[in-house]
């Protein structure tokens, strides 16, 4: 009887907790990415200098992407390519946008400070859902093992 309780507490419960948490996070990420498709569009201008010496070892040397845009007479700054990105993507985008006169910026109509250069769903956004479902599957397999 103690073996079953240990398996349940050490195996099933953590998988269940992680599975519910990851699936919830994944749902929120996907929901937010889909909402970003309806954000307002405006033109922005790249304002940060490109002096990045960052590599995969030194994370602190990245010059942030900074695009100035105007909404209702107020100037805001966009620092993200998309909603959930890594620092390398930001540096690459800053280099690519350097030659552009205007950069399309999509901002949240409910919060003008929240803006991105690319909207919509990216394949990597499905990762938390996949991890959550796999954890829930392991929890169900553990319950099946304990019951039968």
Same structural domain, 65 and 129: no
Same structural domain, 2 and 50: no
Same structural domain, 23 and 73: no
Give the mean pLDDT of 136-141: 94
Give the mean pLDDT of 116-126: 92
Same structural domain, 52 and 110: yes
Residue with tokens 């099933």: 12
* pLDDT given for residue 111 in this prediction: 94
pTM (predicted TM-score):
0.72
Same structural domain, 44 and 17: no
* Residue 67 vs residue 60, higher pLDDT: 67
* pLDDT given for residue 46 in this prediction: 86
Same structural domain, 66 and 30: no
Give the Cβ contact number of residue 21 at 10 Å: 14
* pLDDT given for residue 48 in this prediction: 59
Q: Which domain holds residue 81?
A: 40-118
Q: How confident is the model at residue 1 (pLDDT cuts 50, 70, 90)?
A: low
* Residue 62 vs residue 46, higher pLDDT: 46
pLDDT tens per residue across span 83-115: 877 667 777 777 777 777 888 999 999 999 999
* Residue 15 vs residue 96, higher pLDDT: 15
Same structural domain, 33 and 89: no
Q: Give the per-residue SS3 of the chain.
A: CHHHHHHHHHHHHHHHHHHHHHHHHHHHHHHHHHHHCCCEEEEEEECCCCCCCCCCCCHHHCCCCCEEEEECCEEEEECCCCCCCCHHHHHHHHHHHCCCCCEEEEEECCEEEEEECCCCCCHHHHHHHHHHHHHHHHHHHHHHHHHC
């Amino acid at each position: 009887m103690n073996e079953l309780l240990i398996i349940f507490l050490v195996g099933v419960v953590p998988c269940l907790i992680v599975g519910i948490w990851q699936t919830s996070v994944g749902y929120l990420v996907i929901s937010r990415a889909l909402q970003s498709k309806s954000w307002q569009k405006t033109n922005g201008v790249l304002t940060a200098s490109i002096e990045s010496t960052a590599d995969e070892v030194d994370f602190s040397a990245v010059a942030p992407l900074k695009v100035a845009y105007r909404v209702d007479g107020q100037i805001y700054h966009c620092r993200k390519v998309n909603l959930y990105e890594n620092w390398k993507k930001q540096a690459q985008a800053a280099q690519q946008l350097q030659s552009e006169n205007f950069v399309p910026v999509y901002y949240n109509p409910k919060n003008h400070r929240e803006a991105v250069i690319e909207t919509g769903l990216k394949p990597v956004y499905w990762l938390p859902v996949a991890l959550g479902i796999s954890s829930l599957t392991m929890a169900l397999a553990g319950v099946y093992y304990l019951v039968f």
